[in-house]
Structure 1
Amino acid sequence: MSRPAAAYCGAVEPIRRVAPPLPGRAVLAQDWVRVTFLHWRVPAHVVAPLLPPNTRPDEFDGTSWVGLVAFQVPRTSLVPGPVLPYVGEYPEINVRLYTVDDEGRRAVLFLSLEASRVLTVLTARATVHVPYQWARMSIRRDGDALAYRSARLTGDRSSSHLVVRPSSEPVADDPLADFLTARWALHTPLWGRTRYVRMEHEPWPLRRASLVSLDDELVAAAGLAGVATRPPDSVLYSPGVHARFAGTVRPAARAGS
């Protein structure tokens, strides 16, 4: 399986399993645990209309990818500062794409993020400008499987229910897994520009996993109907990482500037 090829007039940064240093100090830290990654191949021309200005689909093996990622946030803290009780503890399920901006920087683009704390949702939408949705959520262990549930409490009331069975088989030397998970920034639109926000964490300790069942409306609600009705092309699991976010938010260049 080949590495993704650059499709731009300029260098695209390489995929790095180890995060580059943050540009400045961290201002927020989170633990992400019991993380499940489901991914589907999607043609680049399908996702391109969903991307913010000055970004394009990032591709692997000639296709772009859409992810449905479910996990638990058991701890959030300010850096330096206290742990945030209650509002910093919640399940999350996000729908995401992979982007490259005009400076060749790879990132994640969130189409939606479900969280169970309404104050967390409102704060994240106001400060980081990412499309969080308030939802009733749960994560439960069922024998050797994990079940994630989410149902939006506002808007279109979309829901998701997925059950996965993690294995003990580690993922090693897998360029696709690196492409899908070794992401050290996010792109987010704000007032006609695309912002670039850096983060870091240790390399993902990944395992193979199998999908037991999936009943998902979130991917379709994000603008990609029919994707989550077919089996995913990649299913991965991680026990988790400790993530840190930089305070520096750098705008991507405005078109024509």
Structure 2
Amino acid sequence: MTIKEILVDTEHRPWTIPAEKWQYYQEWNKAVFLHWQVDIEGLQELVPAELEIDLYEGKPWVSLVAFTMEKIRPRNLPSFPPISDFDEINIRTYVKKNNKTGVYFLSIEGGTYLSCQIAKKLSELPYRYSNMHRKKSFYSSENKLFKDRLHINYQVAKAVTEKTALDKWLTERYVLFQDTKTSINEFEIHHLEWPIYELDTMELEVDYPRFKKILSNFPDKKHYSTGVKVIAWGKRKSEKGILK
């Protein structure tokens, strides 16, 4: 499907796409989603005051998404695989601001050092490098500085043909909010709905010491997706201190 076709397929979105020209294209492929329902007390201290934690039936959720980033490029320029293709893990929660429901990254890691440095510089997202290995039905990552470790041996099961409201709530998000020292940055994105599959984890180790209160080896829900093609716009800044 072409970028033009993706941009006109918007019925699944909760609001219209931005009027400005998009700035980046990227693909998020072979995605493993692990989801935990958590207590808001353990989460609130990790989210800036300017963002409201989004709730599903009164409870917040945190998700770990391990995938392969491919073909990331600026508008009108080609991708360069040694930089544009890399494995990535993000740990995110679900937030609201200005009547938009999106995600906020608690952690974001990439498997290529140079790609992390460039992404951090351009986007101000808190990328850090971790040593990652991926092959069929296997994903592992280790960061010795933070003592973070992820190990997944998994099996993809049948396609989810009828998504639940929670399935969509956890996966269909079209804005990312992230903070810096002085601002809250907002990144609009667009893609088709995630195709999702059931996921069986044969082995799972999730060890992130900073998040031990909210992550465990027993997620409440799991998904797999073949991936989506993503259109992204540039960041919009708002000063910190302007609440929700």
How far residue 176 of structure 1 moved from its aligned partner, in angstroms, is 0.5
Aligned positions of 1:143-222 closer than 5 A: 146-152=137-143, 155-218=145-208, 220-221=209-210
Distance in 2, matches of 1:26 and 1:186, equals 15
CA contact (8 A) 1:29 1:78 kept: yes
Distance of 1:89 and 1:170 partners within structure 2: 27
Q: Name the CA distance, whole Å, in 1 between partners of 2:100 and 2:30.
A: 28
Give the equivalent residue in structure 2 for 1:232: 219
The correspondence of residues 72-111 of structure 1 with structure 2, limited to 5 A, is 72-101=68-97, 103-111=98-106
**8 Å contact from structure 2 (residues 204, 217) kept in 1:** no
- Distance between the aligned counterparts of 1:71 and 1:214, measured in 2? 16
**CA 256–37 in structure 1, closer or farther in 2 if over 3 Å, else same:** closer
**RMSD, matched Cα:** 2.1
Is the CA contact (8 Å cut-off) linking 1:54 and 1:252 kept in structure 2?
no
> 1:26-49 CA distances to partner (integer Å, 9 max, x unpaired)?
111111111111000001222111
Using the TM superposition, give the Cα deviation of residue 253 of structure 1 relative to its aligned residue in structure 2, in angstroms: 7.0
Asked if 1:255 is matched to 2:223, the reply is no
Moved more, 229-238 or 34-43: 229-238
Q: Matched residue of 2:234: which SS?
A: strand
Q: In 2 relative to 1, CA 17–119 (structure 1 residues): closer, same or farther, beyond 3 Å?
A: same
Residue of structure 2 in register with 1:21 after alignment: 17
> Which segment drifts farther, 66-75 or 127-136?
127-136
Shift of 1:230: 4.4
Instruction: Tell me how far apart the structure 2 counterparts of residues 111 and 67 of structure 1 sit (CA, whole Å).
Output: 10
Q: SS at 1:86's partner residue?
A: helix
Corresponding letter in the other structure for 1:201: H
**Residues 81-120 of structure 1: CA deviation (Å, up to 9, x unaligned):** 111231111111111111112x222111111111111122
Tell me the equivalent position of 1:69: 65
SS in 2 for 1:120: helix
Structure 1 residues 125-159: Cα deviation after superposition (integer angstroms, max 9, x where no partner): 22222221111112111xxxx11111125x22422
| Residue 120 (structure 1) aligned with residue 100 (structure 2) | no
How far the C-alpha of 1:226 sits from its partner, in A, is 4.1
**Kindly tell me: are residues 53 and 84 of structure 1, through their superposed partners in 2, closer, same or farther at Cα, counting changes over 3 Å?**
farther
- The equivalent position to 1:57 in structure 2, one of 53, 71, 80, is 53
* SS of the residue 1:50 aligns to: coil
Q: Distance in 2 between matches of 1:178 and 1:239?
A: 16
Comparing 243-252 with 70-79, which one deviates more in the overlay?
A: 243-252
**Aligned residue pairs, count:** 233
Deviation of the 1:23 alpha carbon: 4.0
The answer to whether the Cα contact below 8 Å between 1:97 and 1:111 also exists between their aligned partners in 2 is yes
CA contact (8 A) 2:34 2:64 kept: yes
Aligned-partner Cα distance in 2 for 1:46–1:242: 33
Aligned-pair identity in percent equals 23
What per-residue deviation string (whole Å, max 9, x for no partner) do you get for residues 221-248 of structure 1? 3xx2143334111101110110111024
CA displacement at 1:213 relative to structure 2: 1.7
